[in-house]
C-alpha cells in the first residue's frame, strides 16, 4: 500500500450507538480501508471518523457510509450545538503517503459527482477542491444552517451545487466534499456556564477576529457538563500550535477570573503537532497515545 489517503467524514449523529456502529461497520467491510478512530460527542451530536487506505477504496467506503447515513439520519429531528447542513456534514480528503493534493481533489470531485447523481443530494466542493475563486469555505456553506443554505441555493449563482439537485434533501440536507491538508480539531472546556464569555473568547482568538493565524473558533454550551467550551479548528498547526491555542484561551479566561477545566483532541493528530511536553501542560482529558496518527498507522499495519 504505497499510496495512502486519509478521509475524516463528520457525521451528524453522536448519541445513537446503534447508528454509529452500523456506519462504522459499513466502512470496515471495505477491503484496503481501516477505520483508525471514531470520536462521538453527545452535545455536539456529532461523530468524527478517521479513515485511511488506498485512495479508491477510501472513496468507496465513504460513499457507502454516506448512502447508509442518509437512510438512518433525519436532520429534521436533529438537535446539537455544532453547525451542520448534512447527515454526513463534511467529507475532507487529505494526502497521507504517495498521494498528491491534485489526486485528493480528483477523489473529492469524483465522489461528489457520484453522490449528486446516484443519491440525488446536493454537493458543495470546498477548500482546495472548490472550482471557485476564491475557493468556497466550509463556514460559508454552514452559515445560517439548513435554512440559510437553502435560501442561498434558491438565489442561484455561486450557490448552485457543484453536483446534484438545486434543493436540499428533505432529511439528509447536503454534503460538503473537499480536499485539504491536516486540520486539528481541538476543544477547551471552561469552568463556567457563561456562553457569552465562551463566544467572546472565541471571537477574540480566531483569525477572523484579528487573533491567531490559521485558527477557527466558536463558543458552545455543553448541557451534559453544565459548562461551556471553546471549540477550535487549527488549519495549519505549524502557524498556530495547540499550545498557542490553549495559551490564547487561558489568557482570555484569566481576564474573566475563571479557569480551564480540561482540553480535548477530536480524532487524531500528527506526532509533530503534539510534542511530549504538551500532554501535561494542555490538561488533556483522558489522553491516549493512540490519538497520534503515526501510532495508529503502525498499529494497523500501515508502516
The residues assigned a catalytic role are 82
CB 269 within 8 A of CB 292: yes
Q: Among 141, 58, 142, which residue's Cα sits nearest to residue 93?
A: 58
Kindly report the number of other CB atoms within 10 A of residue 181's CB atom: 15
Calpha distance 97→228 (Å, rounded): 38
Contacts of range 67-72, beta carbons closer than 8 Å, 24 or more positions apart: 67/119, 68/22, 68/23, 68/26, 69/11, 69/13, 69/23, 69/172, 70/119, 70/121, 70/169, 70/171, 70/172, 72/13, 72/19, 72/22, 72/23
Calpha distance 63→117 (Å, rounded): 12
Amino acid at each position: 500500500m504505497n499510496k495512502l489517503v486519509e478521509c475524516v467524514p463528520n457525521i451528524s449523529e453522536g448519541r445513537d450507538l446503534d447508528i454509529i456502529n452500523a456506519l462504522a461497520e459499513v466502512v470496515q467491510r471495505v477491503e484496503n480501508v481501516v477505520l483508525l478512530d471514531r470520536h462521538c460527542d453527545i452535545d455536539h451530536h456529532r461523530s468524527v471518523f478517521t479513515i485511511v487506505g488506498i485512495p479508491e477504496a477510501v472513496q468507496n467506503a465513504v460513499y457507502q457510509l454516506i448512502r447508509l447515513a442518509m437512510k438512518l439520519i433525519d436532520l429534521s429531528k436533529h438537535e446539537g450545538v455544532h453547525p451542520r447542513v448534512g447527515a454526513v456534514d463534511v467529507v475532507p480528503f487529505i494526502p497521507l503517503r504517495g498521494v498528491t493534493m491534485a489526486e485528493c481533489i480528483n477523489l473529492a470531485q469524483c465522489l461528489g459527482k457520484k453522490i449528486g447523481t446516484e443519491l440525488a443530494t446536493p454537493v458543495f466542493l470546498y477548500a482546495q477542491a472548490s472550482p471557485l475563486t476564491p475557493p468556497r469555505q466550509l463556514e460559508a456553506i454552514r452559515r445560517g444552517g439548513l435554512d440559510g443554505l437553502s435560501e442561498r441555493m434558491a438565489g442561484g449563482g455561486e450557490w448552485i451545487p457543484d453536483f446534484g439537485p438545486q434543493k436540499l434533501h428533505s432529511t439528509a440536507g447536503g454534503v460538503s466534499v473537499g480536499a485539504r491538508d491536516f486540520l486539528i480539531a481541538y476543544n477547551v472546556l471552561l469552568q463556567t456556564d457563561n456562553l457569552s464569555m465562551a463566544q467572546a473568547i472565541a471571537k477574540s482568538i480566531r483569525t477572523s477576529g484579528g487573533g491567531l493565524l490559521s485558527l477557527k473558533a466558536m463558543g458552545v454550551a455543553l448541557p451534559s457538563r453544565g459548562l461551556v467550551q471553546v471549540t477550535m479548528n487549527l488549519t495549519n498547526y505549524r502557524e498556530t500550535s495547540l499550545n498557542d491555542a490553549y495559551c490564547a484561551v487561558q489568557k482570555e479566561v484569566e481576564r474573566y477570573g475563571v479557569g480551564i477545566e480540561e482540553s480535548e483532541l477530536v480524532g487524531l493528530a500528527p506526532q509533530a503537532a503534539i510534542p511530549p511536553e504538551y500532554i501535561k501542560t494542555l490538561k488533556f482529558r483522558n489522553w491516549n497515545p493512540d490519538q497520534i496518527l503515526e501510532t495508529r498507522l503502525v498499529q494497523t499495519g500501515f508502516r
